Homo-oligomer: A and B are copies of this chain.
Amino acid sequence: MRYGVLGTGVVGQTLGSALVRSGHEVCMGARTEQHAGSVAWAAEVGDGASTGSFSEAARFGEIVINCTAGVHSLAALDAAGSGVLSDKIVVDVANPLDFSGGFPPRLAVDEGDSLAEQIQRRFPRSRVVKALNTVTASVMVDPGSLPEATDVFICGDDADAKLAVTELLTTWGWEHARVRDLGRLDQARATERYLLLWLALMGTVSSPDFNVRIVRAEDMA
């Protein structure tokens, strides 16, 4: 498959590298065609990795992954262009957190809304899936780096798009049953707001390398 990865930060680089390792081709998109971060990433990864503008990366990808900072995601996707994104799966990994007022941050979306829904409204012909935003980048692509199987959450309005994302996650080692489909895209309100707890926990456990494992009474032996 060909993936367009929008964003050159740790999340974009980690996902991009993992996709190439899985045998996919990745174009990493940035605000400028010759972005220092993406060019360095592509040089390091080698075959299968390329770079371009947001628009070029989105055009390249059969699936587009939004790895930009949440407060800039709509601008990045606008730069990619609605025509280019039309009918494509857009995996939204971003978190709309506003740290301008200090810690803890505030959500940068209104109550009763989410970044994923904003993207879906702006690009109604795209198929937005919210996923992976509840774990740090290294855990996204290597859940086996944690000593127990943990849970990850997806939601979206297109069942086929969610299936495609679920399959991608299982190739990275996520247990199929622990890719929890929360339902429609409005559940992104829940996973985006969970980031406040994730940040608090990161402070409490002194590391971003953690995740939650859902424990159910009915799993009692």
Contacts and interface: CB of A to CB of B under 8 A. Distances in A.
A216 B210 contact: yes
Number of copies: 2
A97 to B, nearest CB: 12
B215 A146 contact: yes
Contact of A104 (B145, B187, B199): B187
Interface in A192-221: 193-194, 196-197, 199-201, 203-205, 207, 209-221
A8 interface: no
Given A106-B112, A145-B217, A217-B210, A196 B205 contact: no
A207 B107 CA distance: 28
A215 B200 CA distance: 15
B217 A201 contact: no
Chain A contact residues, majority secondary structure: mixed
Contact of A210 (B204, B214, B221): B214
Interface in A158-197: 180-183, 186-187, 189-191, 193-194, 196-197
The contact size tier of chain A is 35 or more
A203 B214 CA distance: 13
Nearest to A191: B197
21 contacts: A101-B112, A104-B186, A104-B189, A145-B217, A145-B220, A147-B216, A153-B200, A182-B203, A183-B203, A189-B196, A190-B197, A191-B200, A193-B196, A193-B197, A194-B197, A207-B216, A210-B215, A210-B216, A211-B215, A212-B213, A212-B214
